Structure 1
Amino acid sequence: MIVIAVALGTPRQESAPSPDAVSAGVAPTAATPSATSIRTPSGSPPATASVSDADAAIARLAMLEVVAGYSDARYDRDRFGETWADVDRNGCDTRNDTLGRDLLDPVFKPGTRDCKVLSGLLVDPYDGTHVDFVSGRNTSALVQIDHVVALAWAWRHGAESWTDAQRTAFANDPRNLVAASEEMNQAKSDSGPSEWLPPVAELRCGYVENFVDVLDAYDLGIDPADKDAAQAVLERC
């Protein structure tokens, strides 16, 4: 049986670069994520989305440029900078920042200023299952950090032309990151909404809204199939 929990508490502060900062290739500065920029704080995705959120996402979707979703240049993860860089310079890498924000009851390693996450409980944002996170060689991979808009997908829809600084900011932007189970992260891979949606229908609205928000914030295009799939989800929200 799938259990979807609702977590109480205040999400940790993260940095989310503004579109202006991204356009300038400037690393993000510390800021508190808003409910509109991060729809899955503390590991507890909403069961349903409000009509206003869906309508806003539909309006943003209509404004996105429709592109082929193809790049002649081969995608290279290294073009998006160091994996889980400390772009906000708070002393924590992006993975630990995201774990600390999304896990329930996170336990931090003493002496790391609540940075290194040792354990916690994940409520997966895509299927609602509970996963115990324990930091370790054989256990850390059970909870992974998913890019809502995958880096390879972004590359094919406009990120190829960005600067290295813009791509690094995108790869570490908390509005585009959620802690997810290994199973869901691997299943999603670099797919868009036409190829993959959360298996729990009640969680699809928040996912697609996040997806569209990120495209809008970074002025990315969308291919016809993914636009149609996103539109279909949002119209049912």
Structure 2
Amino acid sequence: MTFMGDWPLRWWLILGGCVLSALIVAVGAVVPGDRSTSDPAVREHADRALQALSAVSALAQRPSRGDYRREAFGSAWTDATAAAGGFNGCDTRNDVLARDLTDTRRAAVSSCARAVVAGEFRSPYTGEFIVFRRDRRAGAIQIDHIVPLAYAWDMGAWSWSPTARVNLANDPANLVAVDAASNQTKSDQEPARWMPPNRGFRCQYSIQFVTVVSTYHLLLDAPSATILRKSLRQC
């Protein structure tokens, strides 16, 4: 298993957000595809995630609360958040596009003075290459919550303060730009039911999923914990 070779090294290099008095930091940059899974840095991040996973409490199954509302996590992509990048003059969606796309062009829009209006992108979930244009099929690239908000709600976020939920929804450590089709297919599914079709990204996905769950003190369902543990051991 290898990571995708066409991604910029700055991807995931700095990810941070203040959450429940904790700081999410980068678990590693996406590395070129010719670096094998024996890469010491990759193995180190995976081992840290495995250690964190062992301390996460697990439920036999994901509970089905049925009362999730997206509005409980605040306005979509608000800039008014304590997460990294908050109050910088750009909404969260544009922050993630600026981080994940390459060869970008910028222009001012109502939500961001230097919004990404064009760029190139390879979806980590599928490997699909997309040429992005804000004025043409802007929805072809969507921003996914690695730990879905509905899942986070079921696993403990229902009891959080509104501020904590807004932070999670806009924390760059829990966000990734992806192709629209895979984002829709994933929906709010947990790792036991969905993992990226691109096997080369599953290690990074698992590291990020565990990092977010651990830092935000969320619960995990036991089947997903098993899948994540297997994925991390194969990094």
Q: Which bin holds the TM-score, normalised by the shorter protein?
A: 0.7 to 0.9
| Structure-1 separation of matches of 2:56 and 2:126 | 28
Match of 1:51 in 2: 43
- The CA deviation at 1:16 is 2.8
Query: Judging changes above 3 Å, is the alpha-carbon distance between structure 1 residues 46 and 103 closer, same or farther for their aligned structure 2 residues?
Result: farther
8 Å CA contact 1:40, 1:125 repeated in 2: no
Q: Does 1:152 align with 2:144?
A: no
| Structure-2 separation of matches of 1:13 and 1:39 | 5
- The CA deviation at 1:181 is 0.5
State the superposition RMSD in angstroms: 2.9
**Superposed counterparts of 1:30-109, under 5 Å:** 35-36=26-27, 39-40=29-30, 50-67=42-59, 68-72=61-65, 74-86=67-79, 87=81, 88-109=86-107
With 227-236 and 143-152 compared, the bigger mean Cα shift is at: 227-236
8 Å CA contact 1:149, 1:214 repeated in 2: yes
8 Å CA contact 1:150, 1:191 repeated in 2: yes
- The CA deviation at 1:225 is 0.9
SS in 2 for 1:58: helix
| Structure-2 separation of matches of 1:222 and 1:155 | 12
8 Å CA contact 2:190, 2:224 repeated in 1: yes
8 Å CA contact 2:90, 2:115 repeated in 1: yes
Match of 1:121 in 2: 120
Match of 1:17 in 2: 17
Structure 1 segments unaligned to the other structure (5+ residues): 23-27
Matched residue pairs, number? Answer: 222
Query: Judging changes above 3 Å, is the alpha-carbon distance between structure 1 residues 190 and 45 closer, same or farther for their aligned structure 2 residues?
Result: farther
| Structure-2 separation of matches of 1:202 and 1:189 | 20
8 Å CA contact 1:122, 1:130 repeated in 2: yes
| Structure-2 separation of matches of 1:39 and 1:5 | 12
Q: TM-score, normalised by structure 2?
A: 0.84
Match of 2:223 in 1: 225
- The CA deviation at 1:232 is 1.4
Q: Using the aligned pairs only, state the percent identity.
A: 33
| Structure-1 separation of matches of 2:36 and 2:13 | 24
Match of 2:133 in 1: 134
Report the structure, 1 or 2, having the larger strand content: 2
Query: Judging changes above 3 Å, is the alpha-carbon distance between structure 1 residues 9 and 66 closer, same or farther for their aligned structure 2 residues?
Result: closer
- The CA deviation at 1:7 is 3.9
SS in 1 for 2:58: coil
- The CA deviation at 1:69 is 2.2
- The CA deviation at 1:152 is 0.4
With 103-112 and 189-198 compared, the bigger mean Cα shift is at: 103-112
What do residues 129-152 of structure 1 show as CA deviations (whole Å, max 9, x unaligned)? 21111102x511100000000100
Q: TM-score, normalised by structure 1?
A: 0.83
Query: Judging changes above 3 Å, is the alpha-carbon distance between structure 1 residues 220 and 91 closer, same or farther for their aligned structure 2 residues?
Result: same
